[in-house]
Structure 1
Amino acid sequence: MNKELTVALNYALHKGFQIHPDAFKILENVDVQKLEKIIKEIVREKTRQKLFQISQDDLETYLGIKDDPSLQSNVKVLSDPTTKITTGEGVRGYNALFSSRFNKLKRIIADRPESRMLKSIASAKTTKSEDDFYVCGLVSQRNTERNITKLVLEDPSGSFEGVVFATELQKTAGTLLNDQFVMTRTSLGKNSGFIIKDIILPDMPDQATNKSETEAYAVFLSDLHIGSKYFMEEEFAEFVSWLSSPDPIARKIRFILIGGDVVDGVGIYPNQDKELVCQTIEEQLKKTEELIDKIPKNVKIIIMPGNHDPGRRALPQPAIPEKYNSSLWKRENVVMVGNPAVLSLNGVKVMMFHGQSIDDIVKTTPGLSYDKPTNVMKHLLRARHLSPIYGSQTPIAPEMQDLLVIEEVPDIFHVGHVHRAQLDMYKGILLVNSGSWQKQTPFQASVGMTPNPGIAIMVNLKTFQVFHENYNSNSDNILQS
């Protein structure tokens, strides 16, 4: 018996464990570098179960020789725009979109006690009372001058302009986005104008987090950009190979969520063809299929489109069209969804959004940046909308209902797009920006954008403990939190 195996077994024996003789043959073939970690993991799990023997069956399960049937892998699609898209025509479509946005967000804010005192804007403009009242609407204008901020709100009955004097409240007003929904506490001024005394956002409620009954893990990935010569193919292949390894965490992975920009696309930006190794969408998706084929079949893979993927560019996006690669759609362990989507993974609610609107919000909101995407994600959660600003860089289709309102309260919010991997928490919601698997491109270098690619983020859906594997050899490449 080699020295490493003796040390590992002594650890188990000192913890009061017995080793079944059949287990020795398997242990002798295990990579010595992994051996001690595996034994400690088995001891920890079996101690929790109050079972103090390590059998051949235990080792076969942990080493991936045999699947662990106790780990759940239930996927339910709770919300997906793919089958709900009903684009309106012209002005009628945009009227329907914004009416839907207003009504959905008004229903959300109706849970707040102040909503009992809500007035329509038309009613508020005729009030003679000196008491404070509440109105809600979409922000159509925001201007700051001479130490005051003016806000114009619109609802279906009309619009009104209110003035914010309080210094602290002006800071809140300064972060509001065009077309964002708010409720304000307002009073009449001396000159018949309106003074805004408080600004209330729909925001997220405090509530208990849903958790998986078993310790299944989900991996969060985004922005692979397969087909680009900057795609980290060797590193990604190493990660895929790790999924089939005897690593205790790898053995418990049951979900992989890819949050958009799976491929680099074609004709997305000028001279892109010079940066492609796969010149057509079909080639890029075929390459994607080849890589996915190496992932263990007991892992469910959820794929969402981004702005580089084929199909509609405007939000909300349907799933990547089947016509480009029907084989992906036909795989039993692959689930194709639109952008955004809400999923249940063993009862844990995950909201996926590629994150195109981050571009608009960073450009218009002081204090927000691409370097810290989770701060923008908090902004979206407070607004209860994934892309509030209409008419900026992010194209939004005139849908008959606004499918970008955050109606479900997620347990995990997963976003990509900006190529910066970062973790954070907000009101009990785990925020995951999963970064990218594309090295810095010439364009990113030209604008001073430094990605931290090649990081696989994994979440234990029972404990919400987060792990990560870094496949980037650059020592400065770290996961932000």
Structure 2
Amino acid sequence: MVVASLTVTLLLGGANPRGVPLETPARIVSELASRGYNAERDAVTLLADAPDTDAALDRALETLPDDALKLRSEHVRDALETDDSKRSLGDRSLSDPSRSEATASPDSDATVDRDSPSTPERSAGPTTDNTSVSTGEEQPQNQNTATTSPVETRGVRSSDSDRQTRGREIDPDRLSVEIDGDMTGQSTGTGEYSDFVAVFRDRYERLSKQLRGRVNHRPTDALESLPGNEDAAVVGMVSDIRSTASGHWLIELEDTNGTFPTLVMKDRPIADLVSELLLDEVIAVEGTLADDGGILFVDSLHFPDIPRTHEPSTADRPVKAALISDVHVGSQEFKADAWHRFADWLHTDDAEGVEYLLIAGDMVEGVGVYPDQDEELDVIDVYDQYERFSEYLKEVPGDMEIVMIPGNHDAVRLAEPQPAFDSELRQTMSAHDARFTSNPSLVTIEGVSVLMYHGVSLDEVIAELPDEKASYDEPHKAMYQLLKKRHVAPQYGGHTRLAPETRDYLIIDEVPDVFHAGHVHKLGYGKYHNVLTINSGCWQAQTDFQKSVNIDPDAGFAPIVDLETLELTVRSFG
């Protein structure tokens, strides 16, 4: 496992009175994590003081009870007292009062000093270390970077009777995660024409139900039989959009009975909404039939949308979730130091209450995802990439609940919905007993529903819609469009690969309290009809491919959501 270089300073006049090699505590922590153990701080200190640290560590683990997952100071003392290593300590006896003063106790002011991370330059980026988002879409203006955190240990998940790290404790009985919409193992599509018909029919039926209560809907074949100049409404899937010679918009809508043309006049107030339309999404229109009844002049246009009256649920206790995505382990541009800072921070008192970690895809860089990617790989085998990712994941406190969905760089099928990782990859990433689910999935944490979607369709939305509606600099606005359309990948046939299934797993049936995505490597957040919307950036510096498409990534950020209040704090570790 790659471990960041640590400089440990006990705040006793800035000295290191014991003469301990400064990298030793970090190395001990790393070695314990690789063997599957957490450790108390005093235990790490005792091991660091031993003349032969490696031998003392081996002896301590040999004396550890079989069911123990945390190395405690008494285990180390017992091992040292039964060996010559105790005598080699000389005047630095474990009972020496002066030594206890220099030991990093749970109440000491020990810090980990690292090089200060830099804040990425961006036009609308976050700029404060503790930025709360309460309403609206505005981005914060000042972000200080998180540069210090108390010394801590890092390890794998402990047992239910010992789920804690120093300074923070999690009661496993209070943790609650429910997953809805996981299609893993449910795929039935064969790629036949009938499969595509089935998935689009399911899309139309389910989304049209959300619209029929707002308009006096009539099927397309019934509209054809109505006389001219009649008021009428239709719910349909957008099958074509084109402009007329006069600059008006002709929109062809399709339902299960046929198609019908509708016309939006360029001078109508609703004409601006046409710029938000994507092919294959479901909408409703109202208006008046032409004299001959062959076309509907549109007066109003409706999206399935999120109700403005939506009231999000909240947790009934103080508890938080960290939302990240696009780790990209295996890339030469993976920001390992930023990850170490993030993992260290999770072990501190400052991170108390952060009990959940949601990762929205792209755990690894993958292989062959884009042209000449092999020239930018640090790990060339995808399975070795997952082994490396697992080592980094072990740095996260073992008591956190982790939920992961795949992304387009992961070793699952590219077509959405993507099933969860297979059993082999799950076993590789099993250190924390994480929960694996499909992309997308609705994850409910202590009553707060989080729609997790990796976000490949955001490329399509940003390419098709005007900059003020969707852009890479403000990815959350593109996510607003998906909420408005109640579908995470509404357009078929473009960059987003869609798998034909008997059910459309990409529909947003239930209104989420939080919408979390990634993929575009840009940080953005805001609220849309009271849905907290977050694109969490990435953990990868700019690649040559990203340079070619003018994407300057926002790397090393961790949005933290207070589930009791739905307030958002953005932490920077980049």
Q: State the TM-score, normalized to the length of structure 1.
A: 0.83
- CA drift at 1:78: 1.8
Q: Deviations over 1:102-131 (max 9, x none)?
A: 011012223x342xx210011011111633
Cross-structure match for 1:219: 322
Counterpart CA distance in 2 for 1:133 and 1:260 is 44
Distance apart, 1:63 and its partner CA: 8.0
2:199 equivalent to 1:78: no
Pairing 1:202–2:301 present:
no
Give deviations 1:324-378, integer Å, cap 9, x for gaps: 35232x4553011110010110110000000101111111112222111111111
Tell me, in whole angstroms, the C-alpha distance in 2 between the residues paired with 1:235 and 1:468.
Answer: 14
Task: Render the CA deviation track for 1:165-224: whole Å, top value 9, x for unaligned.
Answer: 143211112210000100110321134332111111100122221101111110010111
CA distance in structure 2 between the partners assigned to 1:374 and 1:236 by the alignment = 24
Determine helix, strand or coil for the equivalent of 1:379: helix
Hey, what does 2:545 align to over in structure 1? 443
Matched, 1:342 2:442: yes
Deviates more, 1:210-219 or 1:122-131: 122-131
Q: Deviations over 1:305-325 (max 9, x none)?
A: 110000100000001222235
Give 1:468 deviation, angstroms.
2.0
Assess if the C-alpha contact under 8 Å between 2:106 and 2:166 holds in 1.
Answer: no
Q: Residue 227 of structure 1 contacts residue 279 of structure 1 at CA under 8 Å; is this kept in 2?
A: yes
- Give 1:260 deviation, angstroms: 0.7
Quote the residue 1:321 is aligned against: 422
For residues 3 and 280 of structure 1, the distance between their equivalents in structure 2, rounded to whole angstroms, comes to 47
Q: Is the 8 A contact 1:424 1:430 kept in 2?
A: yes
Q: Which has the higher helix share?
A: 1
2:109 corresponds to: 30
Q: Is the 8 A contact 1:72 1:216 kept in 2?
A: no
Asked if 2 retains the 8 angstrom alpha-carbon contact of 1:141 and 1:152, the reply is yes
Call closer, same or farther: CA 1:353–1:245 in 2, change over 3 Å: same
Equivalent in the alignment of 1:189? 290
Mapped to 2, the partners of 1:32 and 1:382 lie a distance apart of 46
Task: Report if aligned partners of 1:454, 1:470 keep a CA contact under 8 Å in 2.
Answer: yes
> Partners of 2:208 and 2:481 in 1: how far apart?
18
Q: Which amino acid aligns with 2:237?
A: L
**Corresponding letter in the other structure for 1:175:** E
Contact 1:303-1:334 within 8 A present in 2 as well = yes
CA contact (8 A) 1:71 1:215 kept: no
Do the aligned residues in 2 keep the contact of 1:261 with 1:307 (CA within 8 Å)? Answer: yes
Per the alignment, residue 217 of structure 2 pairs with 118
Query: What is the deviation of 1:465?
Result: 1.6
Match of 2:457 in 1: 357
Alignment map for 1:229-378 (pairs within 5 Å): 229-247=332-350, 250-328=351-429, 330-331=430-431, 333-367=433-467, 368-378=470-480
Q: Are the structure 2 counterparts of residues 164 and 323 from structure 1 closer, same or farther at C-alpha, using a change threshold of 3 Å?
A: same
Mapped partners of 1:213, 1:439: distance in 2: 38
Q: Which residue of 1 aligns with 2:169?
A: 67
Larger radius of gyration between Structure 1 and Structure 2:
2
Asked if residue 470 in structure 1 is aligned to residue 572 in structure 2, the reply is: yes
The answer on whether the counterparts of 1:187 and 1:196 sit within 8 Å (CA) in structure 2 is yes
Cα distance in 2 for residues equivalent to 1:260 and 1:3: 43
Residue by residue, what CA displacement relative to the aligned partner does 1:249-291 show, whole Å, maximum 9, x if unpaired?
x121111111011100011122211111111111110011111
Partner of 1:144: 243
Contact in 2 for aligned 1:297/1:333 (Cα 8 Å): no
User: What does 1:4-15 correspond to in 2, within 5 Å?
Assistant: none
Inter-partner Cα distance in structure 2 for 1:31 and 1:92: 64
The CA deviation string for residues 8-67 of structure 1, in whole angstroms up to 9 with x for no partner, is xxxxxxxxxxxxxxxxx9675234899xxxxxxxxxxxxxxxxxxxxxxxxxx9983461
CA distance in 1 between counterparts of 2:412 and 2:390 reads: 18
**Amino acid across the alignment from 1:185:** E
Counterpart among 180, 186, 210 of residue 281 in structure 2: 180
The answer (yes or no) to whether the contact 2:168–2:348 under 8 Å persists in 1 is no
Letter in 2 for 1:376: A
* Equivalent residues of 2:460, 2:494 under 8 A apart: yes
Aligned to 1:97: 199
Once superposed, what is the RMSD of the aligned Cα atoms?
A: 2.3
Change over 3 Å in CA distance of 1:364–1:215 after alignment to 2: same
Q: Which residue of 1 aligns with 2:141?
A: none
Contact kept? 2:248, 2:264, Cα under 8 Å: yes
What is the deviation of 1:3? 12
User: Mean alpha-carbon deviation: is it higher for 441-450 or for 99-108?
Assistant: 441-450
1:402 and 2:483 aligned: no
Whole-Å Cα distance in 1 between the matches of residues 401 and 112 of structure 2?
29
Query: Post-superposition shift, 1:246?
Result: 2.4
| 1:454 corresponding residue in structure 2 | 556
User: Which ranges of structure 2 fall in alignment gaps of 5 or more residues?
Assistant: 1-10, 14-103, 114-162
SS of equivalent residue, structure 1 residue 298: coil
Instruction: Output the amino acid matched with 1:140.
Output: S
- Tell me the amino acid that sits aligned with residue 379 of structure 2: C
Q: Deviations over 1:423-467 (max 9, x none)?
A: 100111000100000001111112221111111110110011211
CA drift of 1:232 comes to: 0.3
What is the alpha-carbon distance in structure 2 between the residues aligned to residue 282 and residue 119 of structure 1?
54
> What's the TM-score once normalised by structure 2's chain length?
0.70
CA deviation profile, 1:132-190 (whole Å, cap 9, x unmatched): 12111100111123221000000010001111114321111221000010011032113
> In 1, Cα distance between the equivalents of 2:317 and 2:222?
54
CA distance in 1, matches of 2:474, 2:328: 21
* 2-structure distance, mates of 1:33, 1:276: 30
- How high is the sequence identity, in percent, across the aligned residues? 30
Q: How many residues align?
A: 419
Q: Secondary structure at the match of 2:169?
A: coil
1:133 to 232, 240, 245: 232
CA contact (8 A) 1:186 1:198 kept: yes
